[in-house]
Amino acid sequence: MSVNALPCWEITKCEGTDECPARLDVDKPCWEIASSLDDYRNALNVCGDCIVYIAKHDDSGLSAEEIKSIFEQKGVCVLVAKCSSIESRAAADV
C-alpha cells in the first residue's frame, strides 16, 4: 500500500484517541487540520518536520529509500501523553 493512502496515525504508529482531530476528519490531510488548531502544533509549525508531511510531498528532498528507512525505524508516537494532557487541560478550562 502506498504511503499516500495511509492515514497519519498508521504512518507514525500513533495510538492516540478516537477524539484526535485527524481521526475525526480522515478526508483532510493532518497538516491542514493542525494549521487550523490554536495550539502548539500550529504555533511551532511541527508539520514541516513530520515524516507524514515529508512523505506525502514530492518536494521533500528525501528519496523513497530514505523515507522507507525512516518508517522502518519509527517507534511509537511519543506525543500521545503530551497531547492527551494538553487536551485534558484545555477541556477543563472550558
- Reported pTM: 0.61
Residue ranges in the chain whose pLDDT is less than 70? 1-2, 42, 58-60, 74-94
Domain ranges of the chain: 3-93
* CA 16 to each of CA 3, 61, 70: distance values in angstroms, whole numbers, following the listed order: 19, 29, 20
Q: Which amino acid is at 13?
A: K
**56-75 per-position pLDDT tens digit:** 876 667 777 877 777 777 65
Q: Which amino acid is at 79?
A: L
Q: Kindly report the CA angle at 22 between 21 and 26, in degrees rounded to 5?
A: 125
Kindly tell me the burial class for residue 41, based on how many C-beta atoms sit within 10 Å of its own C-beta (0-12, 13-18, 19 or more).
buried
The CA distance from 94 to 71, in Å, is 38
